[in-house]
Amino acid sequence: MDRILITGGAGFIGSHTADALATRGYRIRILDNLAPPVHTGKWPKYVLGKGYELLRGDVRKKGSWRRALRGVSFVYHLAAYQDQRLDFSTFFETNTVSTAILYELIVGERLPVRKVILASSQFVYGDGEYRCAHSRGTTFYPELRSLGQLKNKQWNILCPHGKKARNIPFREDQRVLPTNSYGLSKFALENAGLRLGKTYNIPTVALRYSIVQGPRQSPRNLYSGALRIFVSQAVAGVPITVYEDGHATRDFVNIDDVVKANLAVLKNSKADFQIFNVGGGRAYDVLDFAREVKEITGSPSEIIVGGFRRTDTRHAVSDISKLKKLGWRPRFDTERSIKTYAKWFLKEGFEKTLDRKNLLGLRKGIPR
């Protein structure tokens, strides 16, 4: 059976993808550097004892890729530098340059890789496209909301005439406007992979995941978002803190649906050289999501609304009709994500490692 390389396979999406591919008979090789904060330098137990080849290495290094690519038919390139840090170049080295090295080796060493699947992100869209409410049909691409606007609690994006505007779900063929180094590096990796793939006839697919949720999402990874933060706060019994007015929206997607999307594009040649959104298919108010976490965990925590983060987008919802045309559709809602995540969180004993002071600090609206 074919061997599949999964970079970042010790992580959240990679390890679930590995498990699903292994049950379908594929031989799994994982390349991961096990770096903090996601890991503690050791292989997580969920990848051990399953017959996976585990290579510790760094996707920024050609030598690691060379070892990892031996005898591989398919590659999922999921390893990434995430977060909102100021070492801008690390995003490009880990996410973009790594992708260039991958193609350099496939082409230069004539490796028989039959397809590359690249992890991109909804983040490439920034705030996306909006439609003015007062002049129907006029659309615009807003800049990030200004600090002044946020300080004045004007959470909603207004049209250039200062009137109400509505967000349009992100489509793969629209203009993208990444607002940080992470998004920029992801857009660059899509371009590099799709262009080099086309030129050298290496089928390539880029998947723009929305916020993915489920067990194995590292509680130490500050980038892992609302589910980790809300569950940690709920379990610790400290206030659950929701930014802005709570009415920002996100199309959270469950990990099992993301794994199915990863598998759906593997053997389908209609997916080749394409970009697909992978989202939950509906917009959730972040405040409703916090209430759901409180209810499911049975937490006494109160929910506090307020504060903001400088570079947050107001609405992030993807149009998923393109991937649906290939037969994929999301099946699971946030209830499943919260239940499975909270159960795993408690089973692993993460509640014992929570720093209450730090959890309370989460609502200070750290500028990012």
Ligand X SMILES: NC(=O)c1ccc[n+]([C@@H]2O[C@H](COP(=O)([O-])OP(=O)(O)OC[C@H]3O[C@@H](n4cnc5c(N)ncnc54)[C@H](O)[C@@H]3O)[C@@H](O)[C@H]2O)c1
Fill in the per-residue mask, 192 to 211: x = in contact with ligand X (CB under 6 A), - = not in contact.
-----------------x-x
CA distance 359 to 208: 29
Residue 187 in contact with ligand X, rule: CB under 6 A: no
- Closest Cα partner for 313 from 92, 124, 120, 151? 124
In the bound complex, what is the minimum distance in angstroms from residue 14's beta carbon to ligand X? 5
Who's near 298: CB < 8 A, 6+ residues apart? none
Q: Between 32 and 251, whose beta carbon lies closer to ligand X? A: 32
CA distance 303 to 294: 8
Residue list 214-273, contact with ligand X (CB under 6 A) = 218, 221
Q: Between 125 and 209, whose beta carbon lies closer to ligand X? A: 209
Fill in the per-residue mask, 35 to 54: x = in contact with ligand X (CB under 6 A), - = not in contact.
x--xx---------------
Q: Between 33 and 299, whose beta carbon lies closer to ligand X? A: 33
Of 4, 6, 60, 215, the residue at the interface with ligand X (CB under 6 A) is 60
CA distance 230 to 354: 12
The span of 55-63, 149-157, 313-321, 348-356 binding ligand X (CB under 6 A) equals: 55-63
In the bound complex, what is the minimum distance in angstroms from residue 111's beta carbon to ligand X? 19
CA distance 250 to 290: 12
Q: Between 9 and 142, whose beta carbon lies closer to ligand X? A: 9
Of 4, 18, 47, 80, the residue at the interface with ligand X (CB under 6 A) is 80
Contact 205, 276 (CB under 8 A): yes
Secondary structure class of 293 (helix, strand, coil): helix
Q: How buried is 329 (Cβ within 10 angstroms: 0-12 exposed, 13-18 middle, 19+ buried)?
A: middle
CA distance 269 to 26: 19
Residue 79 in contact with ligand X, rule: CB under 6 A: yes
Of 26, 52, 81, 230, the residue at the interface with ligand X (CB under 6 A) is 81
* Cβ atoms within 10 Å, residue 333: 17
Residue 14 in contact with ligand X, rule: CB under 6 A: yes
CA distance 184 to 126: 10
Residue 311 in contact with ligand X, rule: CB under 6 A: no
Residue 5 in contact with ligand X, rule: CB under 6 A: no
Q: Between 98 and 233, whose beta carbon lies closer to ligand X? A: 98
Rounded to whole angstroms, what are the CA distances from 97 to 68, 69, 94, 115, 193? Answer: 16, 16, 6, 19, 10
Q: Between 83 and 245, whose beta carbon lies closer to ligand X? A: 83
In the bound complex, what is the minimum distance in angstroms from residue 28's beta carbon to ligand X? 14
The catalytic residue positions are: 182
In the bound complex, what is the minimum distance in angstroms from residue 228's beta carbon to ligand X? 10
| Cα–chain center distance at 207 | 10
Residue 33 in contact with ligand X, rule: CB under 6 A: yes
Residue 82 in contact with ligand X, rule: CB under 6 A: yes
Q: How buried is 86 (Cβ within 10 angstroms: 0-12 exposed, 13-18 middle, 19+ buried)?
A: exposed
Of 21, 68, 78, 234, the residue at the interface with ligand X (CB under 6 A) is 78
- Tell me, by CB under 6 A, how many residues bind ligand X: 30
Beta strands 165-168 and 129-132 are antiparallel
CA distance 88 to 111: 31
Q: Between 82 and 96, whose beta carbon lies closer to ligand X? A: 82
Q: How buried is 42 (Cβ within 10 angstroms: 0-12 exposed, 13-18 middle, 19+ buried)?
A: exposed
Residues making contact with ligand X (CB under 6 A): 7-8, 10-14, 31-35, 38-39, 58-60, 78-82, 94, 119, 121, 209, 211-212, 218, 221
